[in-house]
């Protein structure tokens, strides 16, 4: 609800809130007490922002094909590699980094590490110039012989892929909440404009063609909100079926945000296409909700896999 309300006005600001939560997820769920006490209080007060480092230039949707390596050397691991598309690059104080500790073991060879900002060899690379969420920095993080204390391994070696997916299952409904917030902000603006703007001697909201658009936008938005709230409630208690419910919520809410913001621009006519109104920004911001934390295609893969598993297991 916090993310939804902030995103109603500014999607970039809402991203600051949930990306640090995503960065903390594996530490909270599987980290030692030492790691939790080191990171979580500072993240909770806002003193530290975090980054979640999964994506790489050649490993986007197929994250298990990552090439960042972590090699054990005494009481340290040495990390080498490049992470791309990292939210909070350059502003985060800590990063949860996924790297291969066993190159031959596929997804079972991935481990998770806490890397702190001042670690020698850890640097920020290219920052992206993006279509939307331009208030939130996105860029590369580079690891060049970064020595990470073995105590900063999160949970068990080789279990990192599971932690990464678990974190995303818990976070995808929050991307859905961001999408719902963006769509609500667009609907608010469209309602205000259509009840003020007059053409052909009437407020444009009095035309049935406009009312039908508003009705469809509001109905779709409400359906998205309910899917998101349901998935959040399931994720909160770790209910069976959370992964499917989360993917459905993100898929539907992000498509809704795209549809509602596009329709809202239309309802403002030329004004919607200018920067005098926030609608064009909302439309650009909505687009990313169909891409990050797994694209809409990947959400469909998750949903279909779970459906088929349920069918074969008879549940």
Q: Is 61 in the site for ligand FAD (CB under 6 A)?
A: yes
Q: Catalytic residue numbers?
A: 293
If one asks whether residue 247 binds ligand FAD (CB under 6 A), the answer comes out as: no
| Piece of 197-205, 220-228, 273-281, 284-292 that binds ligand FAD (CB under 6 A) | 284-292
Piece in contact with ligand FAD (CB under 6 A), picked from 54-62, 146-154, 202-210, 247-255:
54-62
Instruction: Give yes or no for residue 11 binding ligand FAD (CB under 6 A).
Output: no
Q: Does 291 bind ligand FAD (CB under 6 A)?
A: yes
According to the binding rule CB under 6 A, does residue 163 interact with ligand FAD? Answer: no
Q: Does residue 52 belong to the site contacting ligand FAD (CB under 6 A)?
A: yes
Measured from each CB, the residue nearest to ligand FAD is 60
Describe the crossing of helices 279-288 and 160-196 by its angle, rounded to 10 degrees: 160
Q: Does 87 bind ligand FAD (CB under 6 A)?
A: yes
Q: Is 10 a residue that touches ligand FAD (CB under 6 A)?
A: no
CB of 254 to ligand FAD, least distance (A): 12
Site string for ligand FAD, 117-146 (x = CB under 6 A): -------------x--x----x--------
The stretch among 24-32, 69-77, 219-227, 292-300 that binds ligand FAD (CB under 6 A) is 292-300
Residues that bind ligand FAD (CB under 6 A): 19, 52-55, 60-61, 85-87, 130, 133, 138, 288, 291-295, 297-298
């Amino acid at each position: 609800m916090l993310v939804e309300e902030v995103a109603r006005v500014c999607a970039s600001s809402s991203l600051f809130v949930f990306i640090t939560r995503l960065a903390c997820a594996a530490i909270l769920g599987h980290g030692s007490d030492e790691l939790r006490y080191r990171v979580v209080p500072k993240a909770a007060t806002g003193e530290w922002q975090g980054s979640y480092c999964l994506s790489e230039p050649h490993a986007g949707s197929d994250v298990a094909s990552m090439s960042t390596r972590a090699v054990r050397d005494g009481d340290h691991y040495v990390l080498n590699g490049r992470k791309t598309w990292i939210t909070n690059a350059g502003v985060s104080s800590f990063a949860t980094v996924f790297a291969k500790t066993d190159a031959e073991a596929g997804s079972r060879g991935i481990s998770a590490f806490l890397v702190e900002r001042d670690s020698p060899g850890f640097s920020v690379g290219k920052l992206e110039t993006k279509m939307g969420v331009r208030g939130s920095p996105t860029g590369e993080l580079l690891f060049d012989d970064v020595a990470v204390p073995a105590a900063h391994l999160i949970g068990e070696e080789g279990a990192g892929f599971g932690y990464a997916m678990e974190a995303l299952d818990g976070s995808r409904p929050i991307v859905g909440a961001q999408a719902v917030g963006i769509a609500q902000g667009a609907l608010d603006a469209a309602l205000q404009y259509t009840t003020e703007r007059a053409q052909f001697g009437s407020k444009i909201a009095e035309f049935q063609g406009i009312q039908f658009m508003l009705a469809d936008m509001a109905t779709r938005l409400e359906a998205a909100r309910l899917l998101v709230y349901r998935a959040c409630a399931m994720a909160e208690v770790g209910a069976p079926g959370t992964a499917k419910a989360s993917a459905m919520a993100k898929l539907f809410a992000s498509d809704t945000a795209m549809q509602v913001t596009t329709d809202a621009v239309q309802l403002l006519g030329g004004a919607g296409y200018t920067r005098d109104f926030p609608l064009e920004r909302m439309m650009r911001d909505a687009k990313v909700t169909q891409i990050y934390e797994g694209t809409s295609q990947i959400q469909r893969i998750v949903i279909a896999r779970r459906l088929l598993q349920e069918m074969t297991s008879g549940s």
